[in-house]
Structure formats: structure tokens, C-alpha cells
């Protein structure tokens, strides 16, 4: 079955460490997105990519980095510069223009700083 796979489901990070969250899709979607979800704040866009080897900052990109070397993969690195990284991270993809198709979401990664 086609879908989006995020791993790991739970991730713990020590202060000052970088961590990378994986997102893989087999839907042949061109566009991929990373969102951060905090209680009571809805979803906020971190980065998005509409084509391989190209990506743009979203609303809260500071302290994060991404790459898009393959169409299927869009990993997110949470760097030590991100001061409050504890959150639920959701990856999504869309076939093209989101107006027409909406998004398909992964099941999320919960990151906790210890």
C-alpha cells in the first residue's frame, strides 16, 4: 500500500545534540512538507519541497535543516540551535498543488529533549 512512513515513532535527544527524523513516501508525490505540532497551536510549517534538490523555509525554519536528494525522501534535522525542540513532528506529501489534492500525512515522530 502507498503511504508515508515516518521513523522513529518516538525519539529522545540530549541537549546540544542534532537528530534526524526520517520521512519516506512511495506515493510518487512531488511535494513534501514538515510540520511541527504543539498542543493548542495547530500545525506550523517548518520546511517544504516541491521538487527534488529544492526546498523552501516555512514559518518556523530556524534551528532546522532539510535535504531532498530523492523524490521519495525528505529528512528533517533538528539542530542544537533549535531552543525548544520537544514537539510532535508530522511529514506530509501532495501530488501537486495542494488546492486540488490536499495532503497525505505520516503518523508522526514525537521528539523529547531529555
Partner 1 sequence: AQSVTQLDSHVSVSEGTPVLLRCNYSSSYSPSLFWYVQHPNKGLQLLLKYTSAATLVKGINGFEAEFKKSETSFHLTKPSAHMSDAAEYFCVVSSYSTLTFGKGTMLLVSP
Site residues for partner 1 per CB under 8 A: 4, 6, 31, 33, 35, 40-45, 50, 88, 90, 92, 97-100, 102-108, 110
CA–CA gap between residue 12 and residue 15 (Å, rounded)? 10
| Residue number, 71 or 110, with CB nearest to partner 1 | 110
CB of 99 to partner 1, least distance (A): 4
Among residues 85 and 106, whose Cβ is nearest to partner 1? 106
Cα separation, 42 vs 51, in Å, equals: 26
What is the closest distance, in whole angstroms, from the C-beta atom of residue 64 to partner 1 in the complex? 18
Name the minimum Å distance from CB 26 to partner 1. Answer: 15
Asked if 92 and 35 count as a contact pair (C-beta separation under 8 A), the reply is: yes
> Max Cα separation, the chain?
41
CA nearest neighbour of 109 among 47, 44, 48, 34? 34
Closer residue to partner 1 (CB): 48 or 64: 48
CB of 41 to partner 1, least distance (A): 6
The CA radius of gyration of the chain, in Å to the nearest whole number, is 13
Amino acid at each position: 500500500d502507498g503511504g508515508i512512513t515516518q521513523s522513529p515513532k518516538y525519539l529522545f535527544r540530549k541537549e546540544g545534540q542534532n537528530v534526524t527524523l526520517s520521512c519516506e513516501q512511495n506515493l510518487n508525490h512531488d511535494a513534501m512538507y514538515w510540520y511541527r505540532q504543539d498542543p493548542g497551536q495547530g500545525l506550523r510549517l517548518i520546511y517544504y519541497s516541491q521538487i527534488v534538490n529544492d526546498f523552501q523555509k516555512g514559518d518556523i525554519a530556524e534551528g532546522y535543516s532539510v535535504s531532498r536528494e530523492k523524490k521519495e525522501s525528505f529528512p528533517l534535522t533538528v539542530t542544537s540551535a533549535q531552543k525548544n525542540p520537544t514537539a510532535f513532528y508530522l511529514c506530509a506529501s501532495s501530488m501537486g498543488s495542494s488546492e486540488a489534492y490536499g495532503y497525505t500525512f505520516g503518523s508522526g515522530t514525537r521528539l523529547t529533549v531529555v
